[in-house]
Amino acid sequence: MARAPAAKPAAPSEAPADGSVGRDDVGFLLAKATQRWNELLASRFAAAGYADLRPSYGSILLPLYEEDGLRIGELARRARLSKQTLTDLVRRLERDGLVERRPDPSDARASLIYLTPRSRRFEPVAAATLADLNRLVGTRLSRRRLGELKTALRLLMDLE
C-alpha cells in the first residue's frame, strides 16, 4: 500500500496561511533562542563546578564585572531591569554568596553592591563560557551576519 506524500511544511520565513500566530513569530524565535542560550550557559557553568549559578545572574554580574560597587539604581539601569526586579535578583545573589551590600559612604540611606571573592573566581569561567558560545555562534553565522544580529538585538532592546 502506497503512502500519501507528507504535506510540505511551510518555509521558515512564511507566516501560516490563515494569519494565525506560529513558531515563526519574532517573539517566539527570540524566546526560544534565549532559552537555548541559557541552557548552554547552565550546562557549561555546571561542568565548571558552578551548577548553582543561574544564567539570569549575568544581568547583575556583567555590569559589576565592568564596574564594581554600583548603587541599586545604576545597576538596574545598566542591567535594564526595574529596581524591584533587580532588588529581588540581588537578594538571590547575596544568598548564593556572589554579591554583598555595603553602605554608601556618600549617602547613609543608600548601599553599594559589590562582588564577592566567589563571584571573582567565577569571572574567568563566565568569560571562557561566553567566548566558547560566541565561537559556536561564529560557526553558524558569518562575521558580517553576527554584527548585523548584534545591531538588530540592540535595536530591539529599545523597542517601545
Cell numbers standing for residue 76:
538596574
Residue 116 confidence (pLDDT): 98
Residue 4 confidence (pLDDT): 47
Residue 15 confidence (pLDDT): 55
Residue 66 confidence (pLDDT): 97
Residue 67 confidence (pLDDT): 97
Residue 13 confidence (pLDDT): 53
Point out the residues of the chain with pLDDT beneath 50.
1-10
CA distance 158 to 133: 24
Q: Give this prediction's pTM.
A: 0.81
